[in-house]
Each structure stands twice: as structure tokens, then as C-alpha cells.
Structure 1
């Protein structure tokens, strides 16, 4: 049974909240709530964070194919998984045991890169057209990994030295967008049924779309470090290393942090911070005219292209007026293009609205699927507490801000919330992130 409103529930997360409460009470009264929270979180080690469910600490062997990885991620309903090096010795250290993290976001970048190359060839009359089998396409492209997409910026594909695809430099994003969109489902159907998709190994793409092998924290690191990495430095999840056993002991996600906050309702420190209105905390961050969106009648592939180019993990689908959100598509939803061919097999091009409806029909027996729920919205005068409880209850990654007429005005993500909880002290990470931040645009948020 749920606890009465305004009280913390009995859970590991709530116990952690009580620990923050004790530290909060001894802070200097003249400090701001954020300064107090910074001090509290800097005093708590990462080892105190409740362990993730075993279903979330998933390892994928490095010799698994992308098709196998997609199936595993879909089965466990997770966005990423550790890649275990099958060639590592039994007594190897953790840094040799794991070679990176494979993500839906990374697979999408890889997938859309293939789409754009094939689209370019299709538009320029190359033999590698949408009608050519993916095996032949693979032979023409060679072994393509995310390393060749590191230079993708603003929709322009810069081909790395030694990977010029027969001397053809791929550019002109408008040309590629038009061609890739026109291929629609036929490209995905060809690709997912090909040996190319089925035989490409996760080791070929892991570690290329974030720090290599991947960025992990130790149990002795502070909560402040963890929260900054999950917010300012845009990590979706953080492996926690147990140096004593040389293994990953926990996976901390943005969702897990927001769930912890939801369990702290009723505690003084949370109520002091959580009752602030969105406008008081500078949310939403993005101006309405900068919001990335896709129209309901535009091809769904365009939504995934926009996510890849803009480095975002989700995008609202708006009605023909462009003002009201009728749904949302996230980077996770690309799994349905990879695992449920019945969604697009009869369509050369499927619209964003049709895609949402097809996925809902495909998941009609899965009542707990986030795709079956309508998008959640809020108003600018709502409190951050309201937003946290809504996101946690619906297991959503983002909530859309609307005005009194229900017109779309912005979006708030889990990362935005965490970023308003703490701030980075001057010189906190030293020169660790020099040359890395701002992050590459293939980093999804």
C-alpha cells in the first residue's frame, strides 16, 4: 500500500533520502538549497545508492551480433548493456573485462549512417540502390562501425581517411534526407533480413559513441560526481566498479535517480527544493522556437534522423498545425523498426502518426508498455515535485510543457531535473574533460 501523501515511503531510496536529511539539517542556514544539496551529496559515497535490479545489469558477449543485441535490449526493456570481452582472461581486471557499452542510441547512429550512404548512392545513380540486397550493399560499404561516424556533424557525413567508400564523399544532407525517407520501410526490411545486420558484431561499434572503453565510477566516488555525470556530462547510465572484485557491481541510471527523488517526498530537504516552480528553476531550458519536433504526416524515419543529428533521445509528434503534441517517439522505439517488420512491411514510407498507431497495435497485450500511454504534459507553474512524481509514475524519460491552450512550449528531461539538483564546483573535474565537452552530437540525451 502506498504511504500517505507527503511522507517518505519505506524503501532503500527513502532511507537514502533520510541520510540526506540528516546532512541537510547540519548545513549552514545561509546557504541556498542547491549549495546545501551539493554539500550533502558530496558527503555520500556512490556505494550507498540502492543496487539496480538484476534485469538491468545485463552483459552482452562481444561476439554477439547487432541483431542479438537489439533482441536482448528489447527483452530486458533497457537502453544499454555492458559488452563483455570474451577474449579476456578469467582473472582480468574490470577495464579489460568490459570493452564498452552497446546502446540503442549507438545502433541507431550506425543504422542511420547506412541509410544515408545508401540514400546518397541511390540519388546519385550508384549501383548500391535501395533495391539492391543488403549483402551486396555491405560488400560495397565494407565493414562500417561507429568509428566512421565520429565526424558526423549537423547532418554532414565526413568520411574518415581510408573509408571513402570508393572515393565518394558523402555530403548534402538535404539530398540524403529526401532519399533515405523515400526508402522508408524497404530499407529497414532489407537491412534487418541481411547477413550484414545479422553478422556485424557489437565489439565493432561499442565504445565509439562515448568514452572508451566507457566511463565508470567507483563505489568510493561521491553522489555529486555521479549526479554531474548524469546531468551536465549527459551520461544516461553509469556502471559502478567494485575494485575489490574487479567487476561492475551496479548500474545507476537517470531514471533510478529520479525514482530516488520521488521516494523522498515529505522529507524537509526535498520539499524545500521540490516545491519550487519550473520557472524558478529555469525550466524548460530550451526556447519554444528551438524545440525539435516532427509532424504527424512526415515519415517516421525523419524523426530518427532528427534525433541522431541533434543528439537527443526523443522527439514530439505534432499535429498538422505544428502546435499540439499528439505523441512522442524516442530512440528506444527504433527497436520496433528492427524487431517488428509487420509495422512497415507494406509501406515504402510510414508516417510518424502511423508508426505510433502501429506500435500501439503491436503492443496491445503489453499493458505496461510506455508506448501505450499518452504523452504526459505539464504547465510552467507546476512544481519540480509534480514533474518528478509524474515521470516516475509513468516511467517516462521526458515531459512536455504546454500553455493554457495546450500548445507545445518545451520539454523537460530527466537530465534537466538532475541538472537543477546540483551544480559543478569550479575545477571539480580538473582537466579530465578537456577536449571532450561539449560532447559529440551522436551522444543522445
Structure 2
């Protein structure tokens, strides 16, 4: 409604896009609705990876700030938090573990101590805040694929290595700060630019002198906000246009990123990391028909109940019997 009020007072010679930018520039981030209390979670740095996965799954969030348990009581937010842990970083960590399967029978895969995961930690940290992993993952060898399609997730989740790996080992940080954040005085336009142009999935809102995060704005929350604007003049001027009228770039059929139903779930995760996407369609084997989709967030199901994966093909069982089709709006978080 604030945009609605500002829309009519902007200079008439401005284009609709310029007027919209000017309106969003006039509204502070502090006006954005707070996230539901059920989504307001923090994870201690000494929590295990297993505990973090369970907590995020229970609260239905894709990421959470990591609190440094050794920080002093009077620490500001920049010293209180260590970074962000998210499912994308967890997937990178899992991919590094899967690479150790090559040329082995998997029996000694998870015998290493948590202190020895420097490589995975670097890659996982790079996955935070939407950054790409610094390492590329190739296709699984036939030997690795055979092992992974059997007991990989069961072995991983039952190992001391998984249970003892701490959140601080894979939490991502942003250069000089634990994460890239907005201040309450920043504008809606700045928030939208960070989420879209810089492909961030969520942005914490803080004040320099405060100890805790005031709010976390996600891409999904912005989409829901825009949905509430249906019927308002400024929204209808462009919100009712078709996708073709918006001039969005088209992707050739040959370049569409996809996986086939008989490929392993871990192979799908590798493809997502290679291409920098959060979800891919699942296509019937030997054909072109999409029969489902899988996203990075689905790793939570495999880590909480790994036995479901043991003898299941990607789409035939995992997607249809366990997971409903994920709406496009959910994939926007990635």
C-alpha cells in the first residue's frame, strides 16, 4: 500500500520501471513483515550436523544462522554469529564424502576424524549465501554409483563421522563478516537487488549495535508479499503481463538441465552443484516427458530416513511415494 501511495506522486515522465524503483527506494527494510516465530531458529556452533539437519527439517527452513558458543555475552552480531549453515552446504559436504568411494569398497569411508574435513569445509562454506562451490564434481564412476545406490546414506548417517561433525565445520561466512546483511534503514530496492541480482536466497536484517538478527527476508517471503499486492494499480500494470511479454530469456530445449529417472539421487545433487541450480526436473528414462522434480532441500529426507533410498530409483519411488511435486514458488528459495 505504501507503493500504491507513492506511485501516483512520482514524476509523470518516469517509466513504470523507474517509478517502481523509486517507490521501493522510498520504503525502508524495517517495514517488511517479520518472519514467523516458527522460522526464527539459531543453531549453536557445537551442534552436530545430524542435529542441524533435524532442527531445520522440523522448522521447515532451508538455512539458519550459526551462533558462536564461545562468543562473549556482550558481543555484537558480527562477533556473535559464525556464519550460515544451509542444505546447499550440506550437499557439498556429502558430495565430498561420496568422492572417497571411488576405488574403495566404502568400508573405511567414514573412519576419518571430523578435524580432517578441511577440504569439504572450504567447499561447503563457499556454498553459503548463494556462492558457487570452488570445485566441480564429475559423474559418478560405475563402482561409486553402485555403492551409493545401496547403503551410502545409511552408512553416512549411522557413522560417528557424521554425528560428530560440527556445524561450525561447514558453516559459510562472507569475507569479513559472518554473512552479508541489511540494516533496517536500507531500502526495499537494495533488498530486492541483493536477492535477485546477486542470487542470494535470504538476507538477514541487523542493526550495527544489536546482538541478534532482527529479521531474515527470503525470496519466498518476497514472492508472497507480491502475491498480496494483486489488485493494486502499480502491481497490475506489470503483474498481469504474460511471461512472453516480460521478455524473459528463453532456454533451448537442448540446454535444459535435467536428470533421468534411473539416475541416482546423489548424481542429481552433483548436477545441481555443477550448474548452480537448486532443483532439476526428472525425465522418464529414454524419453523427454517430465515426471517429477528433485531439489537440494530433498537431501533432508535422505539424512533423516536414509533407509527409504536403499533400493529406490530416483523418480519411480522417491519422488512419487515420498515427496509431493514441489511448487515452483518453493524452488525460488534456491
**How far apart are residue 397 of structure 1 and its match?**
2.4
Partner of residue 250, structure 1: 215
Partner residue of 2:130?
none
SS of residue paired to 1:280: coil
- Asked if the contact 2:82/2:173 (under 8 Å) is kept, the reply is no
Q: CA deviation at 1:302?
A: 1.5
Q: What residue ranges of structure 1 are gaps of 5+ in the alignment? A: 1-17, 123-128, 156-172, 360-370, 377-390, 399-413, 416-444
Could you give the per-residue CA deviations for residues 157-177 of structure 1, whole angstroms, max 9, x where no partner exists? xxxxxxxxxxxxxxxx24x45
Deviations 1:286-315 (A, max 9, x none): 433222111122222221111122121111
Is this contact kept in 1: 2:263–2:314, CA < 8 A? yes
Q: Deviations over 1:183-215 (max 9, x none)?
A: 224111111100100000010111258885111
Q: Give the structure 2 partner of residue 182 of structure 1.
A: 146
Q: How does 1:208-357 map to 2 (within 5 A)?
A: 212-283=177-248, 285-345=250-310, 347=311, 350-357=313-320
Measure the CA separation in 2 of the matches of 1:239 and 1:85. Answer: 17
Aligned to 1:96: 79
Q: 1:353 to 1:239 in 2, by over 3 A?
A: same
Moved more, 283-292 or 331-340: 283-292
Cα distance change on mapping 1:121 and 1:212 into 2, 3 Å: farther
Residue 122 (structure 2) aligns with? 147
1:397 is paired with a residue whose SS is helix
Q: Give matches, 1:125-204, under 5 Å.
A: 129-130=105-106, 132-136=107-111, 138-139=112-113, 142-144=116-118, 145-147=120-122, 152-155=134-137, 173-174=138-139, 176-183=140-147, 184-204=149-169
Q: Is the 8 A contact 1:236 1:254 kept in 2?
A: yes
Q: CA deviation at 1:47?
A: 0.3
Q: Mapping of 1:99-114 within 5 angstroms?
A: 99-114=82-97
Whether the aligned pair in 1 keeps the contact of 2:45 and 2:69 (CA below 8 Å) is: yes
- TM-score by length of structure 1 reads 0.68
Deviation string, structure 1 residues 108-161 (Cα, Å, up to 9, x no partner): 011111111x13343xxxxxx32x14442x259933442156574442xxxxxx
Assess, with a 3 A threshold, how the Cα gap between structure 1 residues 211 and 312 changes in structure 2: closer, same or farther: farther
Partners of 2:103 and 2:143 within 8 A in 1:
no
| Matching residue of 2:101 | 119
- How many matched pairs? 325
List runs of 5+ in structure 2 lacking aligned partners.
127-132
Matched, 1:60 2:43: yes
- Residue 244 of structure 1: how far off its partner (Å): 4.4
Corresponding residue SS for 1:247: coil
Equivalent residues of 1:237, 1:253 under 8 A apart:
yes
TM-score normalised to structure 2 length:
0.90
CA drift of 1:277 comes to 1.2
> How big is the alpha-carbon RMSD for the aligned residues of Structure 1 and Structure 2?
2.3
